């Protein structure tokens, strides 16, 4: 059964191997350049905050618009696409193709039981999918280590220009162990779609649609509730005012910046004493061009800054709970599929 699974899986495994090798070559050839820039900028061992801010500015300016930025975004896109493609090209055709071409009758008339047939195939493909995702994440992590180290020096006040945190919604799913969970879940969704729909192309389309919804909706709706975020309310200080939005002369919105390096800031508002976002009339000083007068007037309003965030220390807890949740769903789906094919009539 293992030999048969491998024999049927060979072309897809070859494609996965080529993609991994291609990415490895690309990252290897550019990785030394990034490390070089990092050391040249003066960031390692910078003596004080001002020097570190300056070095960070130099580093991020070298990176922006360079080939390294392109390679980084390409790798991120690949890590996000990989689970979707695994679900569509490995998971969906697994059972659907056999059902469509009729070879299911041959496969299920052998001495191997249906459950064993499916479980060996699922184990081989599922574990390979998780390994591929893990390797992709590892390769990108090794390559971008220096950029993440540099990002730790960034603060909300300085003109650093390098806002790269592991926890940010865009990057969280590309590092750590999260991609492994996604790959397993995507494979299971593809498998389930194939078992239910029994036609390859519709199963692939449904898999892609479901995965797009889940992978986009999860960070926005669910991730921030996995571990309840920290809420702090503090007095609004001058340096934290990031900007003003004045519409007409009736409504003013105050934009604030939080100084929580490495954290994932979920919401960040200027609130009044009752705890609601401030949207009153702008003080006279702000309608003229005087920035200092405006700042004083806003501070005189006695507003508070309410931040809701996940601190950087929770990175591994969040990664673990997210991967655990996805793996749980994957195992549940695979189990449900096994039960379903046991009861399906052959004719």
Tokens at 189, concatenated: 């969704």
15 touches other proteins by CB under 8 A: yes
Instruction: Please state, in angstroms and as integers, the Cα–Cα distance from residue 124 to each residue in 184, 197, 238, following that order.
Output: 12, 22, 58
Using the minimum distance from each CB to other proteins, give the nearer residue, 177 or 203: 203
Cβ pair 257, 228 in contact under 8 A = no
58 touches other proteins by CB under 8 A: yes
Using the minimum distance from each CB to other proteins, give the nearer residue, 183 or 204: 204
Q: How far is the CB of 147 from other proteins (least distance, A)?
A: 17
Angle at 322 (CA atoms; ends 202, 115), nearest 5 degrees: 50
Distance CA 283, CA 104 (A): 75
Burial class (CB in 10 A: 0-12, 13-18, 19+), 64: exposed
Q: How far is the CB of 55 from other proteins (least distance, A)?
A: 8
Residue with tokens 């009729």: 102
* Contacts made by residues 170-174, CB under 8 angstroms, sequence distance 24+: 170/76, 171/76, 172/219, 172/223, 172/264, 172/318, 172/319, 173/79, 173/80, 173/215, 173/219, 174/75, 174/76, 174/79, 174/80, 174/137, 174/140
Residues 6+ apart with CB under 8 A from 97: 103, 194, 200
54, 114, 198, 340: which one contacts other proteins (CB under 8 A)? 54
Q: For other proteins, which stretch binds (CB under 8 A), given 1-9, 39-47, 258-266, 292-300?
A: 39-47
208 touches other proteins by CB under 8 A: yes
Using the minimum distance from each CB to other proteins, give the nearer residue, 85 or 122: 85
Q: How far is the CB of 205 from other proteins (least distance, A)?
A: 6
Site string for other proteins, 73-112 (x = CB under 8 A): -x----------x---x---x---x---------------
11 touches other proteins by CB under 8 A: yes
CA contacts within 13 A on the Cβ side of 214: 19
253 touches other proteins by CB under 8 A: yes
Q: How far is the CB of 18 from other proteins (least distance, A)?
A: 10
Other Cβ atoms less than 10 A from the Cβ of 274: the count is 6
20, 205, 271, 325: which one contacts other proteins (CB under 8 A)? 205
110, 113, 233, 247: which one contacts other proteins (CB under 8 A)? 247
Phi and psi for 94 in degrees, rounded to 5? -55, -55
Q: How far is the CB of 54 from other proteins (least distance, A)?
A: 7
Beta bridge partners of 255: 243
Phi and psi for 167 in degrees, rounded to 5? -85, -10
57 touches other proteins by CB under 8 A: yes
2, 28, 216, 332: which one contacts other proteins (CB under 8 A)? 216
Using the minimum distance from each CB to other proteins, give the nearer residue, 233 or 250: 250
Q: Name the residues that contact other proteins, by CB under 8 A.
A: 11, 15, 40-42, 54-55, 57-58, 61, 70, 74, 85, 89, 93, 97, 200-202, 204-205, 208, 216, 220, 243-248, 253, 255
């Amino acid at each position: 059964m293992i030999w048969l699974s491998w024999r049927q899986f060979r072309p897809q495994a070859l494609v996965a191997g080529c993609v991994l090798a291609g990415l490895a070559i690309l990252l290897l050839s550019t990785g030394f350049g990034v490390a070089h820039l990092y050391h040249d900028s003066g960031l390692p061992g910078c003596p004080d905050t001002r020097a570190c801010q300056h070095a960070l500015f130099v580093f991020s300016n070298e990176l922006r618009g360079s080939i390294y930025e392109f390679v980084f975004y390409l790798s991120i896109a690949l890590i996000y696409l990989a689970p979707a493609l695994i679900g569509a090209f490995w998971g969906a055709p697994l059972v659907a193709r056999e059902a469509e071409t009729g070879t299911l009758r041959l496969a299920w008339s052998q001495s191997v039981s249906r459950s064993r047939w499916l479980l060996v195939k699922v184990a081989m493909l599922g574990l390979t999918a998780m390994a591929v995702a893990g390797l992709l994440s590892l390769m990108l992590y090794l390559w971008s280590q220096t950029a993440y180290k540099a990002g730790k020096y960034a603060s909300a006040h300085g003109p650093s220009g390098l806002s790269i945190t592991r926890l940010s919604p865009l990057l969280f799913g590309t590092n750590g162990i999260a991609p492994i969970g996604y790959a397993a879940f995507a494979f299971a969704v593809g498998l389930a779609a194939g078992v239910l729909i029994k036609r390859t192309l519709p199963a692939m389309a449904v898999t892609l649609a479901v995965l797009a919804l889940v992978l986009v909706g999860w960070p926005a709706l669910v991730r921030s509730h996995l571990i309840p975020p920290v809420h702090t309310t503090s007095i609004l200080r001058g340096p934290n005012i990031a900007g003003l939005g004045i519409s007409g002369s009736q409504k003013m919105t105050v934009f604030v910046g939080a100084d929580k390096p490495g954290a994932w800031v979920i919401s960040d508002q200027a609130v009044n004493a009752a705890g609601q976002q401030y949207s009153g009339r702008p003080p006279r000083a702000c309608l003229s061009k005087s920035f200092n007068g405006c700042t004083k007037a806003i501070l005189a309003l006695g507003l508070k800054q309410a931040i809701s965030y996940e601190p950087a220390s929770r990175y591994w807890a969040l990664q673990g709970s997210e991967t655990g949740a996805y793996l749980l769903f994957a195992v549940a789906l695979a189990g449900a599929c096994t039960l379903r094919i046991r009861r399906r009539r052959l004719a």
